[in-house]
Amino acid sequence: MARLHILNGPNLNLLGTRQPEVYGATTLADIEQMARAVAQDLGHEISFQQTNHEGALVDAVHAARDADGLIINAGAYTHTSVALLDAVLSVGVPTIEVHLSNVHAREDFRHVSYLAKGALGVIAGFGATSYNLAIQALHAHLAGT
Ligand code: DQA
């Protein structure tokens, strides 16, 4: 059994009502419920967290230093935060970056990810399923497959 921490950044608390044409109708609570079910099926335990604050994201990555894997949707901080990249590099926990939307099909500023330099991989564009795919990817990584 692995311990996976799922960390969500700014504005993701508003999923369900936030730009539904981009992010769909699924709430963050729905995503958490689905992620817990997927993790449980694979025999893993997850913790799930959201904050709107960059420093709190850094603190959360530090607090997850003993986790076996990290899944991060850093929202807009993906595209701006060297501090968050440094936090991920500092703890050395296998990390997957996720996005609900296909950031590469959107504005140019969303094509840049600082976080990706510290990630095993990036999953974007599959809505809430992006999180489930990230859990499966970490499962495969941790199993060495
Ligand atoms: C997002 C994409 C980001 O560009 C945006 O700032 C978000 C959400 C996504 O999940 O698609 O807040 O991370």
What is this structure's pTM? Answer: 0.97
**Ligand 1: does its nearest atom lie under 6 Å from the Cβ of 76?**
yes
Q: Are the C-beta atoms of residues 52 and 10 closer than 8 Å to each other? A: yes
**Ligand 1: does its nearest atom lie under 6 Å from the Cβ of 103?**
yes
CA of 4 to the centre of ligand 1 (A): 21
**Ligand 1: does its nearest atom lie under 6 Å from the Cβ of 132?**
no
Under the banding of pLDDT at 50, 70 and 90, the label for residue 70 is very high
Q: Are the C-beta atoms of residues 31 and 128 closer than 8 Å to each other? A: yes
- Phi/psi region, residue 127 (left: phi>0; alpha: psi -120 to 50; beta: rest), is left
Q: Please report the atom of ligand 1 found closest to the CA of residue 102.
A: 11
Which one is catalytic: 5, 44, 77, 99?
99
Which residue's C-alpha comes closest to atom 7 of ligand 1? 75
**Ligand 1: does its nearest atom lie under 6 Å from the Cβ of 101?**
yes
Under the banding of pLDDT at 50, 70 and 90, the label for residue 145 is confident
pLDDT digit string (tens) for 6-49? Answer: 999 999 999 999 999 999 999 999 999 999 999 999 999 999 99
Please confirm, yes or no, whether 139 is among the known catalytic residues. Answer: no
- Residue indicated by tokens 């990230």: 134
